[in-house]
């Protein structure tokens, strides 16, 4: 019974402790809730204050927005008015541009027609040129004509000759006379081999190199003839700039450039442009030689004149001596004449008529005047 009582007391004590603990926890919870409530009240008060301030700001913002909307509305109204004017101006400008475009299109159509006509004419001219260049003889004639025109434009007619024949019977297309020497020029036009390069490639290029080397060998053998007064070099005229450019860019099977091979054969390859430059240099040389010849001729003339002056000096000196002797004799005769005149005057005295004295004086003065003139 006592144990039960003790157990009951312990249970009651435990319950009292538990209740006390629960009460303490509840009190702490209540204090925490009150603290949160106080914080919530402060937050609500802060929010109310902020809301009041926001309401004022919203009101001011609303007024500002209203004013801006009024301004935008007015601007839109003005823009609509101006847009109507701009639209009218744009429609007028577009109509003008369309009219100008129609006129431009008409002119372009006319120009296209002219271009088409020119293209047809160019095609016909190209076909004609191809027909002209179709044969080797025609190409040779074209090269000779081009060479002749360049010579006519650059050199005097007496300084060159066309179709010059050597003693061997070979005939050069042209030679240029350089005092006691002549410069041979021959026209070569390896067009067939050049045309095949674009189609056959390296094989045609090798054939082109062979043709150029054969031309250089032939010119060196036929037209470089020092025993007939030629220069130790000749010109190979290629009357096509494209063919000449291919010649400069091509090498033979031994990797020797074709222009270098030509120079080893004493042959210089030239195109219409480079030949014109060579002929201009030759013309300057001819003028220099002409100036030299004129100077030599003038020097010879001056030397002859000097010889004539030397020949004239002796007779002139003799004449001077005679004139000097004559002047001396004349002075002595004048003195004697003055003495004679004085003697006559003393013999005649003062009875001589004035007129006789004047005549005598005049006669006496005349030789003096002549002497002064002499």
Residue indicated by tokens 């009357």: 239
Query: What 8-state DSSP symbol labels residue 178?
Result: E
C-alpha separations of 57 from 45, 46, 61, 70, 180 in Å: 18, 16, 6, 20, 114
54-67: per-residue pLDDT in tens? 666 766 776 776 77
Instruction: State residue 268's pLDDT score.
Output: 92
The CA angle 300-302-304, to the nearest 5 degrees, is 70
Instruction: State residue 116's pLDDT score.
Output: 67
232-288: per-residue pLDDT in tens? 999 999 888 888 888 888 888 888 898 899 999 999 999 888 888 888 888 887 777
97-116: per-residue pLDDT in tens? 667 777 777 777 777 677 66
Residue indicated by tokens 């025109």: 149
Average pLDDT over residues 309-332: 84
Average pLDDT over residues 82-87: 65
Is the pLDDT reported for residue 338 higher than 80? yes
Type and span of the H or E element at 136: helix 136-154
Instruction: State residue 135's pLDDT score.
Output: 47
Instruction: State residue 154's pLDDT score.
Output: 86
Domain locations in the chain as residue ranges: 86-132, 136-270, 321-373
Assigned token pair, 267: 């042959």
Banded pLDDT at 369 (limits 50, 70, 90): very low
Instruction: Collect all residues with Cβ–Cβ distance below 8 Å to 173 and sequence separation of at least 6.
Output: 143, 144, 147, 162, 163, 185, 186, 187, 237
Q: Would you call 219 exposed, middle or buried from its count of C-beta atoms within 10 A (0-12, 13-18, 19+)? A: buried
Architecture of domain 136-270: 3-Layer(aba) Sandwich (3.40)
Per the prediction, the chain carries an average pLDDT of: 76
Residue 220: how many CB atoms within 10 A of its CB? Answer: 18
Q: Strand pairing partners for 184?
A: 175
Characterize the bridge pairing of strands 160-165 and 171-178: antiparallel
177-198: per-residue pLDDT in tens? 987 889 999 887 677 777 777 7
115-144: per-residue pLDDT in tens? 667 656 655 544 444 444 444 444 456 677
Cα gap 48→52, rounded to integer Å:
6
pTM summary value: 0.45
Is the pLDDT reported for residue 359 higher than 60? no
């Amino acid at each position: 019974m006592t144990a039960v009582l003790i157990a009951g007391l312990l249970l009651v004590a435990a319950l009292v402790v538990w209740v006390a603990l629960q009460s303490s926890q509840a009190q702490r919870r209540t204090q925490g809730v009150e603290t949160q409530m106080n914080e919530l009240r402060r937050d609500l008060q802060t929010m109310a204050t902020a809301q009041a301030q926001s309401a004022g700001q919203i009101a001011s913002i609303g007024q500002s927005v209203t004013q801006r909307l009024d301004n935008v509305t007015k601007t839109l109204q003005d823009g609509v008015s101006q847009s109507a004017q701009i639209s009218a101006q744009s429609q007028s400008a577009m109509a003008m541009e369309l009219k100008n475009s129609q006129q431009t299109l008409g002119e372009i159509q006319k120009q296209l027609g002219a271009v088409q006509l020119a293209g047809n004419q160019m095609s016909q001219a190209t076909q004609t040129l191809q027909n002209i260049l179709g044969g080797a003889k025609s190409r040779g004639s074209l090269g000779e004509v081009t060479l002749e025109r360049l010579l006519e434009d650059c050199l005097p007619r007496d300084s060159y000759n066309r179709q010059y024949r050597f003693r061997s019977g070979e005939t050069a297309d042209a030679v240029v006379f350089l005092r006691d020497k002549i410069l041979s020029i021959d026209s070569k036009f390896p067009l067939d081999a050049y045309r095949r390069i674009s189609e056959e490639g390296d094989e045609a290029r090798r054939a082109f190199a062979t043709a150029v080397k054969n031309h250089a060998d032939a010119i060196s053998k036929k037209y470089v003839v020092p025993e007939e007064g030629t220069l130790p070099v000749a010109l190979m005229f290629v009357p096509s700039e494209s063919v000449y450019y291919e010649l400069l860019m091509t090498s033979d099977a031994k990797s020797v450039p074709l222009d270098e091979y030509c120079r080893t054969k004493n042959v210089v390859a030239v195109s219409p442009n480079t030949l014109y430059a060579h002929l201009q240099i030759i013309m300057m040389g001819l003028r220099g030689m002409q100036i030299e010849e004129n100077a030599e001729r003038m020097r010879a003339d001056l030397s002859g004149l000097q010889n004539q002056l030397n020949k004239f000096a002796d007779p002139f000196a003799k004449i001077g001596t005679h004139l000097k002797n004559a002047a001396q004799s004349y002075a002595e005769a004048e003195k004697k004449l003055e003495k004679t005149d004085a003697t006559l005057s003393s013999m005649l005295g003062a009875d001589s008529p004035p007129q006789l004295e004047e005549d005598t004086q005049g006669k006496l003065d005349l030789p003096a005047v002549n002497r002064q003139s002499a």
